[in-house]
Each structure stands twice: as structure tokens, then as C-alpha cells.
């Protein structure tokens, strides 16, 4: 007998117009679409062309108008500031409408860009939704990014306004944001007309006269602004993700397909309904924060948690259980890194016993590979389904998952289960042909991609084609390698490019290599990601120094670590490097990063047939040993 998942997935592939058209009826449209799937300009597919709607209306006003105005929409829980504040749908709608008016007073209109450089405070959510209300395009930049990274995004998005705050808080450490913002604007060729700053009490920012405005002042002068209808195919936001060249790629999300797909996933994947409490323990600077803190839960009429804290240290490894119990969380979505940190601090889950978790029904983990030990620990400790799922910044929602609202499949360790509805996945070989079940190849999705995924890159159609569609014509390249087993379960094994996953954050080792290469004493270098018990992967650097350099190696290493921290930010977790006499290369000059990585991770490796000098691996192994790798390492 066909289960609901099989029926949904089958129709989504064989009849996408009927499948997504039916789901779209659950959303609010100011003008109905002409076509569900527009394939008139392949491979640039579009969803719901001719349709008009407003994303903010679907997130807030729809529920207020439907009688949910007094239900909590957003709970701000900040253990780092000892703050707890709840916004009902009516209160959040009114705050968003007023800030939309404040942005409009600064000349922001439909199609204009606004960069949001914020910590995890309610104003960040309000700013994003206010942009959507106006039909403006927001681009959120994670608050931990350094000035050069922020400058590249300002240059590409060309925002009319930047919305920021005076500081962020990392556990007990205050990080001033305004000097980073000022530095980025100084570097950027494109200058925003205005900056609106939230002054937090723990750090007051210096304001630039004529450019900087206080959030409180602009809100006091603003009048509420109505929702502005936009085309379904108009951009909602730009979110920059690391590219293999170190140049960030501006992933575009449209309005129509995004509302339809994200609202659908709340029940189909996470099994939550209107009125349920849902928590994505992420950051609004990442795609998870966009999709599952701000948008999807509000589309569905859920209560969403905005958490400003860490899984450990705010104040201890029991904070997640406190939040779940206190607010009645039904489903939690976070990264395996968070659970590894909790497990390290509280291996027997003793702190969990202090809280009533009876309303908690499922844990969802994503952002990096879920190791079996963490999966088993979470299953044993929580006694609820622990669901691994696989997706990317580009996709906006899960590519493969155990769809809890459709059918709960048996969990297989190492697999995010089966393709989500709308995803037609294959593993392709070097001949670009589908492989037999169980054979490892490049994981790809047959076009068209489902709604809510990226239609292109910001002002860069050629880059979109080159990055995702050219290598495997007719398919989207995930840049992940893996296989699909005989039962249809997907197994994601590794990246196929140089993007590494540090605590759920995708970062480019190529970008780090460019920074190391800028050091005056470095002749050539390589950066690669190695396994880390807590963060999944961390980057380590190998440097060959220029001839004649006599300075202390330790001093040079400290300098390059500081350079990466300054240009990319602490989020890179780049703390370890070593100096080597030479790097292993093929005869054509390609550095054998993969082999070095296997040595560092204590995995079996074979001597490459094209190596120019086999003895070099003895040198690399010795160098790795001096920094604690290429041998068994303790957590």
C-alpha cells in the first residue's frame, strides 16, 4: 500500500504543476498565477509566474486577520542578557509595519536592497520582515564576519540602507559591531545612504553624523506601512555563500515559490501545525535562520523561538532543555555541533533530568554530517525521533529528509533518509550517467528544482550556470558526493570542492589560502578541513616559506592566524598552521589536499600514482604530528 510520502514524492516528480499548484492554494495571493511551473527559458525555471503576493502578509497579517493576533509569534530568549520577551502576531505585525515605514522614510522602495548586519535580537527579524513588507530585498550578513567580508557583500548588493546594532554578545564577551561596519563601508566602493543602528545598553556606538540614525528615533517618527504586492518571481532576499574561488555568491530567493515551499515543509517534514512551538537554534545570518527562525514557522502560524545564546556556557549544557521545557517546544532544529558540545560537557545527560520535556516530539539535525555516536547519544538521551536531513544555502530547505508529517521511515545511520518531495536525486559517475544503487558518485538533482530553491545568483546568471548547471547538463550539481542505496536512502559522503563545514558554517578553504598567500613570508600554501570531534571540521594550514626567511615559525603562524581572523572572522575557527619544506603535488602541479586530509584524519590512503616524490608524505606526516594530527587524538 502506498504511504503518504511515496504518493507525495511521486506526484511532485510526475505532475509538479498539480502537486505545487494544490499546495499554493494554502497561501495568500493578491493575484493568481498564470503558470505554476514556467519552463519557457530553460534552464532558468520559474515558479508561479504572473502571480502576485506579499511575503510579510503571509507571515503576519494573514494570521492577524484570521484571528490569531494574540497568539505568540516570536519568543526572544536571551540568556546572555537575561532577557525574555514575547511578541504576539499582532504586536510583531505592528512593529514590522512601523519599521517598514521607517525604511520608506529613508527612500527604501520595492526592489531596493537593505543589508542587515545584526546579532540575534528581535530587531533583526523585524528588519527582515519590514523589507519583505515593502518589497525590498534584504541581505543578512552574519554578525561575526569581519569588515572585508562585509564590504564585499555591500559592494555586490549595493544597499540603500544598512541596518545594524552597536554590538553582539558571544557568551560573556561583547563584540562591537559599529567599528566593523564603519571599516566595511570605508572599504566598499558602493556606499549606503543611511545606517540605522540599534543601540544596545552594553555598548554604545559612535554615530556618523548625516549617515547614521538611531533605531528608536526612526521608529518614533515612522507611520505603519501597508504590504506592497510583488511578483512571485521578484527577489525576496540575497544570501551570500562561500564560493570555491573565495568570492561570495549571492544566492537569490524568490517570493512566491519560497512562501509555498516553506509553508509546506512545516507539516510535511517537521510535523508541526499552527499554534505549535518550533525552535531553530541557528542564527539569522545563515540560511537556517532565514528559513526556519523567521519565515516558515510564521507562514504556518507557529510560535518561533529566537535564542541569543550557546548550547553550553549560557549558563551550562542544560540550556537547550530549559528552553524546550519553558516554552513547550515541539520540534528543535539545530546542528550536530551543538549536540557534540552538550555531550562533551554533560556525557550522561544528567542536566536533562531537571526539565519536563514531555511536549518535545522530534529533534532535527542538519548543516554538517551527523556522526553515528552523536545520533545514538541524542536518541538514547531524548527518547524521541532524531532526524538527520541534508540541504544547502542554495536550496533553502531539505533536499533529503525523513518527512515526519508524511511517513516516518526507519533511521539509517549516516543517511538523511530519502529525497524530499520535489527532489529527483541521482548519483552520477565520471561519464555523467546514473550509477547503480550503492555506487558512490556526484549527487545531483534533475531539473527543474522545486519551489523555494535558488532561481539564479544575484546579477550573475553566467555564474549560476557555471557553478551549478554546466558540469552535469540537465541537473543541479550539489557539489556533494555520495550514493543512493537499493531502498532509496541517500548517503552524503563528502564535498566535491573545497568548501568545508565548520560547526555548520560553510567556509571556503580557497579564501583562507588567498589570505595565507598574502603574507610576506609565504611562498605557497594549502588549507584543508580535518575532522574535529566538536565542530565537524576545522581548517589547518600548510605553508612553504620563501627562501631566506629566518623569522620564527611560531611568529609567522600567529600572524597568519590573525590575518584570517581579521579578514574572515572568528567563525572560520582557523587556529592551526604549520610550516613545511614543500607540499605534495602531482606532476602537473596540483596539490594533493585529499591525501593530506586522509593522513590527518587517520584514514587509509594510497600513494597517488602521479606523485612527484613519495618521500614527501613522510615529511607531511611528521609535520601533522607536531600539531596533533596524523595520530589518535582525544576530544
525-to-353, 551, 579, 593, 596 alpha-carbon distances in Å = 49, 17, 9, 11, 13
Pick the residue with more confidence: 247 or 125? 125
* CA 292 – CA 243 distance, rounded (Å): 24
Which candidate, 30, 29, 48, places its Cα nearest to that of 38? 48
CB 449 within 8 Å of CB 468: no
Torsion sign, CA atoms 203, 206, 210, 211: negative
Query: Could you read off the pLDDT of 418-472 as tens digits, one per residue?
Result: 999 999 999 999 899 999 999 888 999 999 999 999 999 999 999 999 999 999 9
Q: Which of 60, 63, 66, 135 is nearest to 100 (CA)?
A: 135
pLDDT at site 523? 79
Q: Of 501, 475, 486, which Cα lies nearest the Cα of 415? A: 486
Considering the entire predicted model, what is its pTM?
Answer: 0.85
The DSSP code for 60 is: I
For the chain, give every residue range classified as CATH 3.30.300.30.
Answer: 499-626
The whole-chain average pLDDT of the chain stands at 92
CATH code matching the domain that covers 4-309+389-477, chosen among 3.40.640.10, 3.40.50.12780, 3.90.79.10, 3.30.505.10:
3.40.50.12780
Q: Return the DSSP state at 310.
A: -
Q: What is the 3-state secondary structure (H, E, C) of 193-211?
A: CEEEEECECCECCCCCCCC
Among 67-76, 143-152, 289-298, 331-340, the range scoring the smallest mean pLDDT is 143-152
Compute CA 503 distance to the chain's CA centroid, rounded to the nearest angstrom: 11
Least confident of 318-327, 510-519, 553-562, 590-599: 590-599
The pLDDT of residue 195 is 98
Regarding beta strands 113-117 and 161-165, do their DSSP bridges make them parallel or antiparallel, or are they unpaired? parallel
Q: What angle do CA 177, 283, 332 make, to 5 degrees?
A: 155
Q: Which helix (H) or strand (E) holds 522?
A: strand 522-532
What is the pLDDT confidence band of residue 563, given thresholds at 50, 70 and 90? very high
Phi-psi group of 311: left, alpha or beta (phi > 0 → left; psi -120 to 50 → alpha; rest → beta): alpha
Query: What percentage of the chain has pLDDT greater than the value 90?
Result: 72
User: What pLDDT, in 10s, does the model give residues 4-32?
Assistant: 999 999 999 999 999 999 999 999 999 99
97, 337 Cβ separation under 8 angstroms: no
Q: Are strands 303-307 and 277-280 parallel, antiparallel or unpaired?
A: parallel
Confidence of residue 536 (pLDDT cuts 50, 70, 90): confident
- Tell me what the mean pLDDT of segment 38-53 comes to: 98
Write the class of the CATH domain 499-626.
alpha beta
Q: Residue 635 pLDDT > 50, yes or no?
A: no
Residue 634 pLDDT: 36
Residues 277, 283, 289, 295, CA torsion sign: positive
Write the DSSP symbol of residue 572.
G
Tens-place pLDDT, residues 459-485: 999 999 999 999 999 999 999 888 999
pLDDT grade for 522, boundaries at 50, 70 and 90:
confident
Tens of pLDDT, residues 104-154: 999 999 999 999 999 999 999 999 999 999 999 999 998 878 898 899 999
Rounded Cα gap, residues 272 and 401, in angstroms: 15
Can you say how many angstroms the Cα of residue 601 is from the centroid of all Cα atoms in its chain?
Answer: 25
Residue range(s) occupied by CATH 3.40.50.12780 in the chain: 4-309+389-477
Where residue 608 falls among pLDDT bands split at 50, 70, 90? low
Amino acid at each position: 500500500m502506498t504511504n503518504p510520502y511515496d504518493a507525495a514524492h511521486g506526484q511532485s516528480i510526475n505532475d509538479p504543476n498539480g502537486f505545487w499548484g494544490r499546495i499554493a492554494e494554502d497561501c495568500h495571493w493578491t493575484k493568481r498565477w498564470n503558470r505554476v511551473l514556467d519552463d519557457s527559458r530553460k534552464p532558468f525555471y520559474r515558479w508561479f509566474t504572473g502571480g502576485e503576493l506579499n511575503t510579510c502578509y503571509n507571515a503576519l497579517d494573514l494570521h492577524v486577520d484570521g484571528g490569531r493576533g494574540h497568539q505568540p509569534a516570536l519568543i526572544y530568549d536571551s540568556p546572555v542578557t537575561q532577557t525574555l520577551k514575547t511578541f504576539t502576531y499582532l504586536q510583531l505585525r505592528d512593529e514590522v509595519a512601523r519599521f517598514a515605514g521607517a525604511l520608506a522614510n529613508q527612500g527604501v522602495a520595492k526592489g531596493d536592497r537593505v543589508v542587515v548586519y545584526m546579532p540575534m535580537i528581535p530587531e533583526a527579524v523585524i528588519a527582515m520582515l519590514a523589507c519583505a513588507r515593502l518589497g525590498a530585498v534584504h541581505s543578512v550578513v552574519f554578525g561575526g564576519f569581519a569588515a572585508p567580508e562585509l564590504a564585499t557583500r555591500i559592494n555586490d548588493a549595493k544597499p540603500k540602507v544598512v541596518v545594524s546594532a552597536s554590538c553582539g554578545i558571544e557568551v560573556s564577551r561583547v563584540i562591537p559591531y559599529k567599528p566593523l561596519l564603519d571599516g566595511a563601508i570605508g572599504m566598499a566602493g558602493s556606499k549606503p545612504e543611511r545606517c540605522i543602528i540599534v543601540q544596545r545598553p552594553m555598548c554604545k556606538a559612535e554615530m556618523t553624523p548625516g549617515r547614521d540614525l538611531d533605531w528608536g528615533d526612526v521608529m518614533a517618527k515612522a507611520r505603519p506601512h501597508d504590504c506592497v504586492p510583488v511578483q512571485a518571481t521578484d527577489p525576496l532576499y540575497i544570501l551570500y555563500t562561500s564560493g570555491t574561488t573565495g568570492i561570495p555568491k549571492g544566492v537569490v530567493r524568490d517570493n512566491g515559490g519560497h512562501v509555498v515551499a516553506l509553508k509546506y515543509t512545516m507539516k510535511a517534514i517537521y510535523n508541526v501545525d499552527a499554534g505549535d512551538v518550533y525552535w531553530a537554534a541557528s542564527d539569522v545570518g545563515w540560511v537556517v535562520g532565514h528559513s526556519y527562525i523567521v519565515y516558515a514557522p510564521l507562514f504556518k502560524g507557529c510560535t518561533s523561538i529566537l535564542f541569543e545564546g550557546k548550547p553550553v556556557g549560557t549558563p551550562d549544557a542544560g540550556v537547550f532543555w530549559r528552553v524546550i521545557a519553558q516554552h513547550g517546544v515541539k520540534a528543535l532544529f539545530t546542528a550536530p555541533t551543538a549536540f557534540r558540545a552538550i555531550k562533551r560537557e554533560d556525557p550522561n545527560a544528567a542536566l536533562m533530568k531537571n526539565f519536563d520535556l514531555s511536549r518535545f516530539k522530534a529533534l532535527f539535525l542538519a548543516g554538517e554530517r551527523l556522526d553515528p555516536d552523536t545520533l545514538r547519544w541524542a536518541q538514547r538521551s531524548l527518547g524521541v525521533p532524531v532526524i538527520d536531513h541534508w540541504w544547502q544555502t542554495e536550496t533553502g530547505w531539505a533536499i533529503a529528509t525523513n518527512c515526519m508529517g508524511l511517513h516516518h521511515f526507519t533511521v539509517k545511520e549516516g543517511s538523511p533518509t530519502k529525497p524530499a518531495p520535489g527532489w529527483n536525486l541521482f548519483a552520477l559517475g565520471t561519464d555523467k550517467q546514473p550509477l547503480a544503487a550503492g555506487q558512490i558518485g556526484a549527487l545531483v538533482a534533475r531539473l527543474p528544482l522545486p519551489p523555494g530553491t535558488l532561481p539564479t545568483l544575484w546579477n550573475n546568471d553566467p555564474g549560476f550556470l557555471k557553478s551549478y548547471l554546466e558540469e552535469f547538463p540537465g541537473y543541479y550539481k550539489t557539489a556533494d558526493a555520495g550514493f543512493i542505496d537499493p531502498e532509496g536512502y541517500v548517503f552524503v559522503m563528502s564535498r566535491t570542492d573545497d568548501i568545508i563545514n565548520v560547526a555548520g558554517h560553510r567556509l571556503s578553504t580557497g579564501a583562507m589560502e588567498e589570505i595565507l598567500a598574502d603574507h610576506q613570508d609565504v611562498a605557497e600554501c594549502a588549507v584543508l578541513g580535518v575532522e574535529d570531534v566538536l565542530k565537524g571540521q576545522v581548517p589547518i594550514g600548510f605553508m612553504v616559506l620563501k627562501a631566506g626567511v629566518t623569522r620564527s615559525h611560531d611568529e609567522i603562524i600567529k600572524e597568519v592566524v590573525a590575518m584570517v581572523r581579521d579578514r574572515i572572522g572568528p567563525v572560520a575557527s582557523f587556529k592551526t598552521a604549520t610550516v613545511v619544506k614543500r607540499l605534495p603535488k602531482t606532476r602537473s602541479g596540483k596539490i594533493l589536499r585529499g591525501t593530506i586530509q586522509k593522513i590527518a584524519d587517520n584514514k587509509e590512503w594510497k600513494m597517488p600514482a602521479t606523485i612527484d616524490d613519495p618521500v614527501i608524505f613522510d615529511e607531511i606526516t611528521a609535520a601533522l604530528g607536531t600539531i596533533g594530527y596524523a595520530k589518535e587524538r582525544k576530544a
